[in-house]
Structure 1
C-alpha cells in the first residue's frame, strides 16, 4: 500500500516532463520572419530551397535552424584605386547603398554566408573592378571635370556585376576623388598659365580700344578741320575768323579794350585788330 503514492508521483513527474517537452517542441517548430527580413531554413545543416519571407513558418523541431538576413537598405563605404587613360593614378571612395534580394537569400547563404562576407568578398572587389572600367575610359582631367559621367559608367558596371549575386544597388555616391601630387602641381601650373594668358588678352584688348579711341579722336579732329576749311572758303568766312579771335581773346582773360578797330575789306584784314586806348596814350 505504501508504494502506490510513489508510483502516482512518478506518473505526475513524467507527465509534467512530457508536457514541457511538447510545449518546447511546439515553440521550436515555428519561426516568425519580421518585415525587412528573410530567412533560410536549414535541416541537419543543409539549406532548403525557398526563402522564408515575412510571416510565420513551420520548421522541423530540434533538427533545423533558420538564418535571418536583413534585407533593408545597407550602406558601406568602399575605397577604390585605378589608372586613367593617360596613365595617371586616381583613387576614390564610394558610398554604396544596397539591399539583398529576399528571393535570393538561399543562394547567398549557400555561396557567401554572412553579410560581412558579402561586403568583403563581393561588393568590395566588384567596386574596385567597376571603378577601373570607368576610370580607364577617360583622362584624369576628364574624370574630374566630367564627374557625373564617371559615376554613370561606374554605376552601370557595378549594377551588372552585383545583380547576379542577388545584390540590388540602390544608389552610389563619390565621397572622395583624389589624384597624384604630380598631377595636382600640373593643374596648378596650368591654372596660373591660363590666368596669365587671360590677363594678356585683357591688356591687348584694352590697348586696342585705346588705340581705336585715339584714331576716332584724330578722325574727328581732321573732320572738324576740314569742315572749318570749307566754311572759310565759303562766303562769310571772315566772320568766322573774327568770332574765333574774339572768343580766344576772352578765354585768355585780358581786360575788355576800350577801342576795337576792325579790319577793312582787304585780303589780309580778316582778323580784327584790338588795342587799348590807355596803352596808346602812353
Structure 2
C-alpha cells in the first residue's frame, strides 16, 4: 500500500489489490510472447514464414492463454482470496506459494496478513476540561490469516481506510475526552492501552487483530502551555515560601529549646548547689542558713563599717571605709 500526500489530500494506492502477479506474471507473459515469435519465425524463408509456423505459433499462444491465467503465486505474508464467477468469494484462502485456479472463471486477490502500521496523521480532540489536544497515534495490526477471504468479501482490500482509520479516530477522541489536559502526560500509557482495548473489541469481528497502540505525540494549545508553565512557576514559588516559613519556625523552635535547656541547666545547677549546702551544713551541725552566715563570717576582714546610708533602723546600710 502506497500513500501519496499532496497538500491536504491523501491518495492511497493499494498494490495488494493487483496481487503478486504484477511482479511475476508479466515475465511469464513476455516469455510466452517470445515463444510465439520463436515458433512463428523458426525456419523462416525470406519474408514469409514456412507453412507450419503459423500453426505452431497459434498452438503456443493457445497453451499460454490457458496456462498463464491459471497460475496463482501467493507471496510470503499474504493469503489469496479466490473469486469464482458462479460462486463468489471462496471461504478458503490459498496459502503462500504456487496454486492454480480455473482460467477466466476464477481470479485471485492478495490480502496482506503481515503486521502493518496505521498512522492517523492528526486527531483533533478535547480533554475533559475542554482543552484542545492534537494527538498523533500509530496502530500496529494484522489481518487474521483464516479470515482474509471473509474480510475481502465484506470490506474489500481498502479495509484500512474503511474500518481501521475511522475506528482509531473515533476511539482516540473518546478516550482523550476522559482525561484532564494537565494529567495527559502521566496518563499517556493508560490512554494508549484504553484505545487498544476498545479498538480490539471493534475490529476483531472483521478479522483485524490489534497488536499495539502508541501515542507518538500530543500538541497542546500555546495558551494552555503558558498557563501550565505559569502555574508550575507559582507552585514552585509557593513551595519555596513554605520551605522558608518552615525553616524560620524550626529556627525559632531551636531558640526556644535552647533557652529552655539553659534554664533547665541552671535549675539543675541550683538544686545541686542547694543539696551540697544542705549536706555540708548537716555535717557541721548547722542549718543551711546558719552555714551561710558562717561562710560570711569566715570571709569578713574584721573591719566594721563607718558610714550608714538610710535610717539607723533595721534597713540601714553600713559602708566600710
TM-score band, normalised by the shorter chain?
0.7 to 0.9
The size of the alignment, in residue pairs, is 235
Shift of residue 16, structure 1, vs aligned partner: 4.8
Shift of residue 166, structure 1, vs aligned partner: 2.6
Using the alignment, how far apart are the partners of 1:24 and 1:174 within structure 2? 51
Q: In the TM superposition, what are the counterparts of 1:188-203 in structure 2 within 5 Å? A: 188-203=229-244
Q: In 2 relative to 1, CA 25–225 (structure 1 residues): closer, same or farther, beyond 3 Å?
A: same
Q: In the TM superposition, what are the counterparts of 1:10-21 in structure 2 within 5 Å? A: 10-11=51-52, 13-21=54-62
Q: Which has the higher contact order (CA 8 A, sep 6+)?
A: 1
Shift of residue 154, structure 1, vs aligned partner: 1.0
1:104 is the counterpart of 2:147? yes
Q: In 2 relative to 1, CA 11–200 (structure 1 residues): closer, same or farther, beyond 3 Å?
A: same
Q: Is the 8 A contact 1:159 1:169 kept in 2?
A: yes
Using the alignment, how far apart are the partners of 2:261 and 2:86 within structure 1? 103
**Unmatched 5+ stretches in structure 2:** 1-49, 279-293, 301-321
Q: In the TM superposition, what are the counterparts of 1:207-226 in structure 2 within 5 Å? A: 207-226=248-267
Shift of residue 130, structure 1, vs aligned partner: 0.6
Using the alignment, how far apart are the partners of 2:268 and 2:137 within structure 1? 77
**Residue 144 of structure 1 aligns with which residue?**
185
Q: In the TM superposition, what are the counterparts of 1:1-282 in structure 2 within 5 Å? A: 10-11=51-52, 13-44=54-85, 47-50=88-91, 51-78=93-120, 79-114=122-157, 117-235=158-276, 265-266=295-296, 269=299
Look up the SS of the partner of 2:130 in the other structure: coil
**Unmatched 5+ stretches in structure 1:** 1-8, 238-263, 271-282
Q: Is the 8 A contact 2:126 2:132 kept in 1?
A: yes
> What TM-score results when the alignment is normalised by the length of structure 1?
0.72
Shift of residue 52, structure 1, vs aligned partner: 2.1
Q: Is the 8 A contact 2:124 2:134 kept in 1?
A: yes
Q: Is the 8 A contact 1:37 1:69 kept in 2?
A: yes
Using the alignment, how far apart are the partners of 1:269 and 1:231 within structure 2? 23
**Residue 258 of structure 1 aligns with which residue?**
none
Residue-by-residue CA offset, 1:144-168 (whole Å, 9 max, x unaligned) = 3222221122111211222233322
Shift of residue 57, structure 1, vs aligned partner: 2.4
Q: In 2 relative to 1, CA 24–214 (structure 1 residues): closer, same or farther, beyond 3 Å?
A: same
Q: Is the 8 A contact 2:89 2:153 kept in 1?
A: no
Using the alignment, how far apart are the partners of 1:190 and 1:165 within structure 2? 47
Using the alignment, how far apart are the partners of 1:102 and 1:235 within structure 2? 102
